[in-house]
Amino acid sequence: MQLTKALQRLGWLTSLLGWMRWRQWIGVIGLFVLSLSVMHGNALELSPTSRATASSSFSLEEWVIRNVAAKTLSGLFDFFPGRANSDEERESAVDRYFLLGSQIRRVEGSMALSLARGRVGGENDLEIVALEQRLDNLRRERDYLSNMVEQELEKIVATVLRQNSLERSWGPLKPLFPPVSFRLDRLPKLIVVSPRERIATLEVHLLKPELSTADRDLLEMAVGRDQNKSALVVGLGGLATFPSLVSDSQSLRFSLQTIIHEWLHHYFFFHALGQAYYDSANMTTLNETAADIGGKELGDLAFLALGGEIPSTITTRLDQPLVDDGRFEFNKEMRETRMITDELLEAGLVEKAEAYMEERRQIFVHNGYPIRVLNQAYFAFYGTYAENAASVSPIASQLRLVREGSSDVGQFIKSVRGFGDYQSFLSYVAGLP
């Protein structure tokens, strides 16, 4: 998100890429690093939120510079005779990496549910400490495999993107641009700030990934209650830096979907859709939801290519409980919660809306969904993704009409990339058969 905003300030640089055909990597890396440096050019204009979160802020520039270097060195290492990993080694590393990931998620899930239910204290603190040590051990083993896993997944994703005609045509050359490049890592947290009287995103700031639950609570209080705002510190699945930052805690299927989701943000930036990202809330939602739809479909194609099996039931990152209760429908209940909250806020009943959201949060937790905070900022963040149950936007159904009218997902992406304003998109949808 922040990357796109920064790149807008450097739009003139994109014209240079026409003659940099053989320098794809250098051109993209330079563009993205320079963009990140410009992004903080107004650092002296600190908002109250910036000041409150300064000690916990995450440096995106440092991360990009460090990981561009790491990716470059990793690639060069493979050119030395006998040093490159074999196909069998990379495939085995993928299997082991995501097996470790499933073990990590189970431990994290148990901790999250205990925290959401407020059952920490006394002997439970010792249990939490033991679980945290277990997590550290699992993460160290998994991190050792990350370079091989990234290489294997970049290869399969690039193949799928080419199969769906998403490469560029530059005369006789047909490069995949931007190239697929990502890092599996712990993602920074994101603090989202919304007004209390309505649901809207006022500010977002990246925070250190290692923030404890207590730290998150304190920041939300400092930014939210002390400023009469609604605030939420939330985890991310991916971030469209270059290389992309992809959460190391997801399953193989969701990782592939996220890798392609973030790549699509890179791809869209070189077209009208990406350059209009910040023009309006609708354009932000249009961009994110198009990347969601394309990322899920293309990610599943990559997953199948790796031998995965797609379950018959539709699942998301948010609708899987940590306890078994088939009677509770997450999507239905969350959408109802959003609609009633909107009604209360529109009526000016802010405190009643907040009390209602807390009541509903407890119901979700009771049914196995470890939602730590449910407030205006929660809906502001998740509502950006129109297919999410926390959204009331019609954009998801509109994009689905575009997808149904497209011969394949590649054509769908090419269709939506050219929309630079929401009205032209609506006109296009209205003209569909």
Given a cut of 90, whether residue 70 has pLDDT beyond it is no
pLDDT tens column, 132-156: 888 889 989 998 999 899 999 999 9
Residues 6+ apart with CB under 8 A from 211: 56, 189, 219, 233
pLDDT of residue 11: 37
Average pLDDT over residues 259-280: 95
Side chain identity at residue 185, one-letter code? D
Q: Report whether 362 contacts 314 (CB < 8 A).
A: no
Beta-bridge partners for 239: 245
**pLDDT band at residue 66 using 50, 70 and 90 as cut-offs:** confident
More confident residue, 250 or 17: 250
Given a cut of 50, whether residue 106 has pLDDT beyond it is yes
pLDDT of residue 197: 97
Average pLDDT over residues 177-187: 91
Best-predicted range by mean pLDDT (3-7, 123-127, 334-338):
334-338
Q: Model pTM?
A: 0.81
Given a cut of 80, whether residue 222 has pLDDT beyond it is yes
Half-sphere exposure for 46 (CA within 13 Å, toward CB): 9
Q: The tokens 């790491």 sit on which residue?
A: 70
Given a cut of 80, whether residue 227 has pLDDT beyond it is yes
Lookup: tokens for 319: 């609708």
368/321 Cα distance (integer angstroms): 5
Percent of the chain past pLDDT 90, that is, above it, reads 57
Given a cut of 50, whether residue 351 has pLDDT beyond it is yes
Given a cut of 70, whether residue 118 has pLDDT beyond it is no
**pLDDT band at residue 218 using 50, 70 and 90 as cut-offs:** very high
Closest among 86, 58, 349 to 209, alpha carbons compared: 58
pLDDT of residue 84: 59
pLDDT tens column, 4-53: 444 443 333 333 333 333 334 444 444 444 444 434 434 445 788 888 89
Average confidence score pLDDT of the chain: 83
pLDDT tens column, 305-334: 999 998 765 555 455 554 445 678 999 999
More confident residue, 33 or 63: 63
Which CA distances in Å does 377 have to 193, 277, 310, 328, 340?
6, 20, 33, 24, 16
Given a cut of 80, whether residue 253 has pLDDT beyond it is yes
pLDDT of residue 107: 86
pLDDT tens column, 367-387: 988 899 999 999 999 999 999
Residues 6+ apart with CB under 8 A from 371: 116, 361, 364, 365, 378
Residues 6+ apart with CB under 8 A from 421: 276, 279, 283
Closest among 88, 100, 91, 87 to 307, alpha carbons compared: 91
- Domain positions in the chain are 2-41+49-320+391-430
